[in-house]
């Protein structure tokens, strides 16, 4: 199985009294999310389904990517901040995803999941993507196939990558 772990795009700072779960994407974040979906299609890394955190910024990212790819989105509270290997295992067993699945979530959770799956210590920026190939869902059983920052994904759309 190939697991794509995408940190939500750039979000607005919290307003006084606003719950963290309600923070939306910035205008730039919305554009980035659309470009990510288009880039994933172009580099043939499209998932069968997108699984997302219930937080607004993650949902907005997931729906923008899904729109570009024409794939469904499933929201699950298991992907809210605090998601770890146990929650990932529950999610994957509950939905039995296709060969490639995309998870939209939060940092530091996604970085910790990559470390657990592969042993690689990473920190995903907003809009960053890690791709892990996993023969089994076990600690350090995966291989980090790729790590993409949002600027590179945007460059894919303009043909300016090297």
Residues that constitute the known binding site: 57
Largest CA distance in the chain: 45
Contacts of 16 (CB under 8 A, 6+ apart): none
CA 11 to CA 48: how far, in whole Å? 26
CA 38 to CA 158: how far, in whole Å? 11
Binding residues for substrate: 57
Other beta carbons within 10 angstroms of residue 62's beta carbon come to: 27
């Amino acid at each position: 199985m190939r697991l794509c772990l995408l940190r939500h795009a750039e979000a607005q700072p919290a307003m006084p009294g606003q719950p963290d779960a309600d923070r939306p994407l910035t205008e730039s974040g919305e554009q980035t999310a659309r470009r990510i979906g288009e880039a994933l299609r172009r580099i043939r890394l499209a998932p069968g389904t997108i699984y997302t955190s219930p937080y607004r910024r993650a949902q907005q990212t997931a729906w923008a990517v899904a729109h570009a790819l024409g794939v469904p989105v499933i929201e699950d509270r298991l992907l809210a901040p605090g998601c770890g290997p146990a929650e990932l295992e529950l999610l994957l067993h509950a939905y039995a995803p296709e060969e490639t699945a995309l998870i939209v979530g939060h940092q530091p959770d996604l970085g910790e999941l990559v470390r657990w799956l592969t042993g690689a210590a990473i920190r995903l920026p907003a809009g960053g993507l890690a791709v892990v190939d996993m023969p089994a869902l076990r600690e350090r059983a995966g291989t980090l196939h790729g790590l993409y920052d949002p600027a590179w994904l945007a460059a894919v759309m303009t043909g300016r990558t090297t």
